[in-house]
Chain A
Amino acid sequence: MNRSIRQLAFGLMVCYVVLFAALNYWQVGQKEELDAKFDNTRQILREFNRPRGSIITADGVVAARSIPDTTNEDLDFAREYPTGDLFANVTGYFTKDFGSTQVERAYGDVLVGSTASQQVLALVDLLEGNVDNSGSVQLSMRHDAQSAAKFALGGREGSITVMDPNTGAIIAMYSNPTYDPNVFVGDDFEAAQQAITDLQNADGNPLLANAYQERYMPGSTFKVITTGIGLETGVLSRDTVFPNERQYVPPQTNDPINNYNGSECGGDMAEVFRRSCNIPFAKTAIELGVERFVEGTEAWGIGEQIPIDLPRAATSTIGNVENLDQTLPLLAIRGFGQSEDQMVPLHMAMVASTVANGGRMMEPYVVEATFDNAGRELSRATPDVWKTPISPESAALETEFMIGVVESGTASCCVDLDGDIQAAMKTGTAELGVASNPDLSHAWIIGFAPAEAPRYAISVVLTNVQSTEDVSATGGRLAGPIAESMLNFLLTGEGAT
């Protein structure tokens, strides 16, 4: 009988080896595939059953927090956004059924307390009886500045970005259309699904943050970049003079390039800049040639994803550059921000910041610091230079040009800061060239203040604005007052610090 018993032992052993193999198959081999199954809610259930920390603005207002969920027996916590749509584009959302975005996504590990440093600190806390390991995220953004931006935009489609040019810290970043995450973080799956589907199908992509996840034709604000490239390469200088002319026919075509509204425009560098003539910048682009122009724009970060600490930032572009030397008229037009040029509004604020910060473009960030549950600091933003496209001398010169824009140029109508504070701005009116609606434009303004010791850089864009017979929809006229009110609010108004 012993032989049979030994064979039985072997047989049972084989059975258990099979079980062990199956266990490995499911827990290791198929893990990723199973985790990714659409109806697998384990990950989310786990996160919703743990306390999740708050997202707090620089001035101490809670933008996102967890509250005990008393209505759903599966979940212990629900997410709440007390500021409604105000910070939606930055905090993003954290949902059971539709994933998570923005800070909720990028800083999810801090919020639930799963970073290595939190886990270590948690061991100490555990002995003191504290097992809530959630962390909190403090934004560099201010609730009052964000509210002012929302008010200034007044429901119009577009975005406002205000940042500290010296550090890259974003102070305000608001855009329309936006959304209120509270409408789809609730327990009612059907209602939430309907709400999020409606938002996905709505015009203007409200779920995307226009300020850093979309890009728009920049119009004349791009001339800050072209001027910078010209100055750095020696193609332009303070003394460069352009003739007064109405039309310019670039190489390889018979179609002339016009100035805005077909006006006659020319003069020295400061004058063509403040009057925003098109022809001088078209000529500059042609003189630079494709190679130097493309390299120059790359030095400004065009073609690279914006290095903000939020997921899925957009990338600015000057369009397709292959065979551009065969289509030089397109190069000429891109020199003044039309054609295929597409800039992210945040990137334009960074362009203004570069001039303000002596030629150094800082990496933008929205998260100032993170803290563990006991309030100990886990991390703090450190200002980092992303690009250095121009020298301090060129930056000083461009600052001079941009002051001219405010004093006697395209923004003189509309930007005059309180308390004799000098602003330096550049306007832009991107003509979208829609055949059925030739008057449709994006109205831009970028700049900074105070000009001599810059504290805030700003970019404002109103998208898809319509010129009427009485009012031409220019950047100066439409975006200028918005920038003015924001800078006044921050420098001398209620938000002055």
Chain B
Amino acid sequence: MSTPAAINDIGSAFTDQTSPRSPIARRRRNTELALIIMVGLITGVAYTIAALGTNAEIPPGIVVFVAILLGLLLCAHIAVRLVARGADSTLLPLAALLHGIGFVMITRLDDRLAGLQATWSLIGIFVFVGTLVVVQRTNDLANRKWIFFVGGAALLLLPMVPGVGQTFNGARIWVSIGAVNFQPGEFAKIALAIFFAAYLAERRELIAAMTWKVGPFRLPEPRYILPIIVAWGFAVVVMVGERDLGSSLLFFTLFVVMMWVATENAGYVVIGAVLFFGAAYFSWSQFSHVQLRVTNWINPWDDPLDGGYQIIQSLYGLADGGLLGTGLGRGNPGQVPEAQNDFIFASIGEEFGLVGATAILMSYVLIVGAGLRTALRTERTFEKLLATGLTTIIGIQAFIIIGGVLKVIPLTGITLPFVSYGGSSLIANYILLALLIRVSDSAARRLNELPDDPTTSERWQAWRLSRRIRKAIKRGEVPSDFVGVVS
């Protein structure tokens, strides 16, 4: 009669609420807490200085502001501490720093937008916490890859639906349902990254095998790569159709990078580059709005009052900022159209100078570093690819818009992750961050840096199971689905 004892063991293992100690996890979380408090103070000081610079007075609600800010950041931190305590300690503080600096710049540029952005920040943090709580196992994502495929495609298509889609600044990327406006593309990129990662994790060997002979070339079996081609083609065609060149470039890069990493075949990068430049040349020769972008990129001073105005003003702002910046609230970043949005990096460069703008660049470099380190650490293919994909989205998106602002590449409208004004962008990036933290935590558990505690839902299921067993034993029945477990 050893059965009841065994059952109790199983039950207690799953229902025990006190996690075993883990010095590594505790150290990471304490580091994160210290960094988060620093970010809160930096943001609070910047907020005060910006108000002094613009309105010449200390903001009346500064104490409330800092309290709410620290409160929100602590919410996010506590969520990580509870459900992802093994995760990298720098990801959340870095994102919070970018978010904080961005919020201060937006406040300094436009009081009205600041109120809205505050609401978005609140929602963003709650969505971050929600994502961490809901997605406790990365397999939950991989198992639903087709949902993400269909969902991602639907989100991409949504702006093209008549009556729902809205055209703004020449790009049809907005959706308006009732009072809610959002950019579904921001969420589609995450959905597609999850799909790519899950699909490639399953089929990467088959794809890498290159069993399809076409003349002298060996190509992957068409049926294995078809869904990816469809997903990618969908994204690119829709994006070009919606005239959102920045997002189109982002999707393309994401696709190429994930194929390359999954197959370890650098040929995809070469093919991707050839395809990209071919497509770029084609759209340049076919579309006047693309030609305009290129012309304004090569010499904005040919049309200084119209096409080149934005980039010229942005460069003047950067130059005016110089090494140390004009000081928060002391410059004129409002001269640049869309300063709070695509051009917020120029605003930061103007008022924080080279030093501050470099700090922003470094923050992205560190996020990319932490993200790819997570990809290297984890042993599961899906997690590797997911971390790579999500990191690439942030790294490349920031590069595309900062490169555009700095005249390194032609300007394409796209938001600067965590920094730019906008609810869709902020919320989507917090979802992305939560997933990255989830992968990081998962990797740490796999490496036995902390015990792989069961998740709340696993505990719940285990508790229900053990209760059923106890009841059955009390009644003297042996439940049918339990027989297999004990015997």
Contacts and interface: CB of A to CB of B under 8 A. Distances in A.
A42 B375 contact: no
A27 B408 contact: no
Given A27-B354, A34-B316, A18 B264 contact: no
B323 A9 contact: no
B474 to A, nearest CB: 52
Interface stretch (A125-133, A197-205, A249-257, A426-434): A125-133
Contact of B315 (A2, A15, A34, A45): A34
Interface residues of B, number: 52
Given A46-B330, A131-B56, A23 B354 contact: yes
Contact of B262 (A1, A2, A15, A24): A1
A98 interface: no
Contact of A37 (B262, B316, B384, B399): B316
Nearest to A23: B357
B261 A35 contact: no
Interface in B299-351: 304, 312, 315-323, 326, 330-332, 335, 349
B330 A12 contact: no
A464 to B, nearest CB: 45
Contact of A26 (B52, B262, B332, B406): B406
9 contacts: A1-B264, A6-B376, A12-B395, A26-B319, A26-B407, A27-B353, A28-B354, A35-B320, A131-B56
Contacts, number: 131
A34 B406 CA distance: 14
Given A19-B406, A20-B358, A26-B406, A35 B332 contact: no
A141 to B, nearest CB: 32
B365 interface: yes
A9 B368 contact: yes
B322 A31 contact: yes
Interface string B399-426: 1001100111000000000000000000
B364 interface: yes
B257 interface: yes
Interface string A227-267: 00000000000000000000000000000000000000000
Contact of A2 (B58, B361, B376, B402): B376
Interface in B248-273: 257, 260-262, 264, 266
Interface of B: 52, 56-58, 257, 260-262, 264, 266, 304, 312, 315-323, 326, 330-332, 335, 349, 353-354, 357-358, 361, 364-365, 368-369, 372, 375-376, 381, 384-385, 388, 392, 395-396, 399, 402-403, 406-408
Contacts of A420: none
**Chain A contact residues: over half helix, strand or loop, or mixed?**
helix
A35 B320 CA distance: 7
Interface of A: 1-9, 12-13, 15-16, 18-20, 22-24, 26-28, 30-31, 33-35, 37, 39-43, 45-46, 49, 126, 129, 131-132
A132 B406 CA distance: 34
Contacts of B323: 27-28
A355 B31 CA distance: 79
A42 B257 contact: no
Contact of B331 (A26, A39, A46): A46
Given A23-B349, A23-B406, A43-B320, A16 B361 contact: yes
Contacts of A131: 52, 56-57
A46 B384 contact: no
A26 B57 contact: no
B384 A1 contact: yes
Contacts of B353: 27
Contacts of B320: 34-35, 40, 42-43, 46
A22 B406 contact: yes
Contacts of A1: 261-262, 264, 381, 384-385
A42 B331 contact: yes
A175 B395 CA distance: 65
A49 B403 contact: no
Given A19-B403, A42-B331, A49-B332, A34 B354 contact: no
A19 B361 contact: yes
Contacts of B406: 19, 22-23, 26
Q: Which of A18, A41, A42, A49 has the most CB of B within 10 A?
A: A42
A439 B322 CA distance: 59
B5 to A, nearest CB: 44
Contact of A5 (B384, B396, B399): B384
B319 A19 contact: no
Nearest to A6: B376
A12 B19 CA distance: 38
Contact of B319 (A7, A16, A31): A31
Given A23-B406, A45-B332, A131-B52, A4 B260 contact: yes
B399 A16 contact: yes
A8 B322 contact: no
Leading 6 A-B pairs by shortest Cβ distance: A34-B319, A22-B406, A42-B320, A131-B56, A4-B261, A27-B354
B142 to A, nearest CB: 16
A16 B264 CA distance: 23
Given A27-B349, A46-B330, A129-B57, 7 more contacts: A1-B385, A5-B376, A9-B369, A12-B372, A19-B399, A42-B335, A49-B332
Contacts of A24: 354
Contact of B316 (A7, A9, A12, A42): A42
Contact of B364 (A9, A16, A40, A45): A16
Contacts of A45: 332, 335
A20 B326 CA distance: 19
A18 B376 contact: no
